[in-house]
Amino acid sequence: AQSVTQLDSQVPVFEEAPVELRCNYSSSVSVYLFWYVQYPNQGLQLLLKYLSGSTLVKGINGFEAEFNKSQTSFHLRKPSVHISDTAEYFCAVSPGSARQLTFGSGTQLTVLP
Amino acid sequence: EPEVTQTPSHQVTQMGQEVILRCVPISNHLYFYWYRQILGQKVEFLVSFYNNEISEKSEIFDDQFSVERPDGSNFTLKIRSTKLEDSAMYFCASSGLSGSSYNEQFFGPGTRLTVL
């Protein structure tokens, strides 16, 4: 079984500041890793995914994440946030052989003017 | 841009009643999923569906739940006899068979189910 831990439930940050949202996972098998974003009253939108290859993954809206196998982490970063980045961010994993996603509890990112 | 749609956006029902939540996946996708999120809790996997049968299901997906693809476009989740603890946001998702959509699940906006 897999599990995902998002250590920060809320992250307030000022506009144009950098941000890192933390995600750690545990699994007995190799996994695929994902970050989803949820804007108010909308569904989950994929930001980026790690399947294999380069451990630094770039996604939409200027976000990137780095897969660290030894630390079982997949932290999400953005060098300069905008007000429009205010949303809930979910880290998720799926076992390589199956498709079900296991989600973390989410991190609410609030960008302050 | 193609998207997953769900109806209704909000469903209110009495405990013990049957509800059907509807989803229209992206048209060329072949894998379909239901997830739910109880208020304040994690998004949880319920079931995945491929080739007209369930391919995976979680412990949550007991005999009260069923899924169906009644025609070429809809994918439904039925809860036979709703309980108070079924109150949650239910998300439908779909993914493709190959290419870039193979490992990406596209989510709908959700149906908020309230059981009174």
pLDDT tens-digit readout, A35-68: 999 988 788 899 999 988 888 999 999 999 999 9
Closest residue of chain A to B40, computed from CA coordinates:
A105
B90 neighbors B107 (Cβ within 8 angstroms): no
Q: Does position B89 have pLDDT exceeding 70, yes or no?
A: yes
Using the predicted structure, report yes or no on whether residue B44 has a pLDDT greater than 60: yes
Give chain B's contact residues with A (Cβ, < 8 Å): 4, 31, 33, 35, 41-45, 48, 55-56, 58, 91, 93, 95, 103-110
Is the pLDDT at B115 greater than 90? The verdict is: yes
The strand pairing partners of B113, in sequence order, are: B11, B88
Q: Return the exposure string of A53-82: e unless at least 16 CB atoms fall within 10 Å of the residue's CB, then b.
A: eeeebebeeebbbbbeeeebbbbbebeebe
Taking an 8 Å cut-off on Cβ atoms, the answer to whether A44 and B33 are in contact is: no
Q: Please determine, for residue B101, whether its predicted confidence score (pLDDT) is greater than 70.
A: no
Residue B68 pLDDT greater than 90, yes or no? yes
Residue of chain B whose alpha carbon sits nearest to that of A1: B58
pLDDT at B32: 94
Residue B79 has pLDDT above 90, yes or no: yes
B55 and A32 in contact by Cβ < 8 A? no
**Contact residues, chain B, for A105 at CB < 8 Å:** 41-42
**Residue B20, pLDDT score:** 97
Which amino acid is present at B1? E
Contact A44 B45 (CB under 8 A): no
Task: Reply yes or no on whether the pLDDT at B100 is more than 60.
Answer: no
Residues of chain A positioned with their CB less than 8 A from the CB of B35: 101, 103
pLDDT digits (tens, 9 = 90+) for A58-100: 999 999 999 999 999 999 999 999 999 999 999 999 886 567 8
Domains and CATH numbers, chain A: 3-112 (2.60.40.10)
Find out whether A92 and A106 touch, Cβ atoms under 8 Å. Answer: no
Dihedral sign for Cα atoms in the order B41, B42, B46, B51: positive
In this prediction, residue A21 carries a pLDDT of 98
3-state secondary structure of B4: coil
The per-residue pLDDT of chain B, averaged, comes to: 91
User: Which domains does chain B show, CATH number per domain?
Assistant: 5-97 (2.60.40.10)
Quick check: B106 pLDDT over 60?
yes
Total number of residues shown for chain B: 116
Measured in angstroms, the CA of A5 and the nearest CA of chain B are apart by 11
User: A50 touching B, CB under 8 A?
Assistant: no
pLDDT of res. A2: 83
A94 contacts in chain B (CB < 8 Å): 103
Of B42, B48, B108, the CB nearest to A100: B48
CA A16 to centroid of chain Cα atoms: 19
Q: Looking at residue B102, what is its pLDDT?
A: 62
pLDDT digits (tens, 9 = 90+) for B17-34: 999 999 999 988 889 999
